[in-house]
Amino acid sequence: MKILVIGGGGREHAIAWRLSKDGGHEIYCAPGNAGTADIATNVPIGAEDIDDLVAWSQLARPDLVVVGPEAPLCLGVADRISALGIPVFGPSKEAARMEGSKSFSKEVMEAAGVPTAHAERHVKADEAIAALDRFTLPVVIKADGLAAGKGVIIAKTRAEAEDAIRSILDERQFGEAGASLLVETFLEGEEASILALVSGEGRIALLPPAQDHKRVFDNDEGPNTGGMGAYSPAPVVTDEVLDFAMERIFKPVVAELAKRGIEYRGVLYGGLMIGPAGINVLEFNCRFGDPETEAILPRIGGDFASLLLSCAKGELDPASLVILPQPCATVVMAAPGYPGKYPKGLPISGLDAAGAMADVTVFHAGTADKDGQTVTSGGRVLCVTALGSDLRDAVDKAYSGIRAISFEGAHYRKDIARRAFNR
């Protein structure tokens, strides 16, 4: 198959890599990175340059387009390319509102009876501040729209909550993504990511569950990041949790969307909180998670392109999903300073040595090629991934891979999968 993968991070490298494992495909990545360049042809079009992506697809006529990030989906890239008669793995603009609009997603969950934190939507700061009287601390304040993962504030004090509300609604800290916000009940517990392949009603397959590590430092300290590592499976997600997710979360949500005339096709990612209040949905994403994908896709067997194509066409047979038993772990190597300001262009060494280790794969997240030398070009630089006979083995192998690689000021968490080992 001729396949276009849209995006240029670790998730897209993992998608392209998994497609390449099928053998025989012609893979393109827009824009890709130094890692995808080894297994695919990079196309110099940005993931949000919708007109150019459509024009390229019209000329090149790929058999399948796989969309990585949420932004192009929310801009309607799937609608535009599908209209050319090309199957797209990724939801329509309407369906992508499950991630693009937190109030829409909340409304769908409420209508479908899906357990989720109670929330109120507000557009005026004084009304949102008055609403705080109806919530206890800590309280969660969320910009309604896409804010590059920065739109959620967990306020421990009333003053912090008021500041967050004013900066979102009055100062438009997140631009139009903050034209409205949710004031939401804080939930305690352990987070887990359950991603489902969805191909309309009755066609839902749960991918192996994973757990992400959002804080930059060990023991979940320091500021939030895009994710510093992940592993799959996550022991907190028992078979009972998976059953619950299918019956009480994914089936009702997909049915509720269908009732509104929206057929969901692609990944629906449920961010769950499992704790004293039971199993609740914190949020939905309309795409593969990053870095969860780097720990999930190595565990998928069978022909991956056929799986995604059937899903894109609304023909997914959930029984065709093959999950391999070996656990997988991925550890992010980040640039000095990340998630704050960081330099770019640092030369990276040891990539070949790490990649040659048994069961180790190095996914590039933020890299570029500079005169034949791979250099850093982002905050999250590499996702060093390994399959193992058990989770401990997978984690150990991933860290062996990390130790073989170096660039100035590289940092990474040393406790990936800690929660699983602590059980």
C-alpha–C-alpha distance, residues 374 and 35, integer Å: 9
Q: How many residues interact with ligand GLY (rule CB under 6 A)?
A: 6
Residue 283 found at the interface with ligand AMP (CB under 6 A): yes
Which lies closer to ligand GLY via its Cβ, residue 227 or residue 298? 227
Residue 69 found at the interface with ligand GLY (CB under 6 A): no
Residues 209-228 that bind ligand AMP (CB under 6 A): 214
- Please choose which of ligand AMP, ligand GLY, none residue 99 contacts, taking the beta carbon within 5 to 8 angstroms, the exact cut-off set by kind: none
Candidate list 6, 15, 117, 161; residue touching ligand AMP; CB under 6 A: 117
- Please choose which of ligand AMP, ligand GLY, none residue 117 contacts, taking the beta carbon within 5 to 8 angstroms, the exact cut-off set by kind: ligand AMP
3-state secondary structure 226-281: CCCEEEECCCCCCHHHHHHHHHHHHHHHHHHHHHCCCCCEEEEEEEEEEECCEEEE
C-alpha–C-alpha distance, residues 326 and 359, integer Å: 11
Residues 160-189 that bind ligand AMP (CB under 6 A): 184-187
Query: In the stretch 212-241, what mask flags binding to ligand GLY with x, by CB under 6 A?
Result: x--------------x--------------
C-alpha–C-alpha distance, residues 302 and 285, integer Å: 25
Which lies closer to ligand AMP via its Cβ, residue 292 or residue 359? 292
Candidate list 7, 289, 378, 388; residue touching ligand GLY; CB under 6 A: 289
C-alpha–C-alpha distance, residues 397 and 119, integer Å: 42
Candidate list 1, 111, 152, 346; residue touching ligand AMP; CB under 6 A: 152
Residue 294 found at the interface with ligand GLY (CB under 6 A): no
- Please choose which of ligand GLY, ligand AMP, none residue 290 contacts, taking the beta carbon within 5 to 8 angstroms, the exact cut-off set by kind: ligand GLY
C-alpha–C-alpha distance, residues 370 and 260, integer Å: 49
- Helices assigned H by DSSP within 150-220: 158-165
In the complex, residue closest to ligand GLY by CB: 289
C-alpha–C-alpha distance, residues 381 and 366, integer Å: 4
- Give 97's contacts (C-beta < 8 A, 6+ positions apart): 74, 104, 105
Which lies closer to ligand AMP via its Cβ, residue 149 or residue 355? 149
- Give 219's contacts (C-beta < 8 A, 6+ positions apart): 415, 418
| β-pairing verdict for 380-387 and 211-212 | unpaired
Q: What are phi and psi of 64, to 5 degrees?
A: -160, 140
Residue 211 found at the interface with ligand GLY (CB under 6 A): no
Q: Give the interface with ligand GLY as residue ranges (CB under 6 A).
A: 212, 227, 285, 289-290, 292
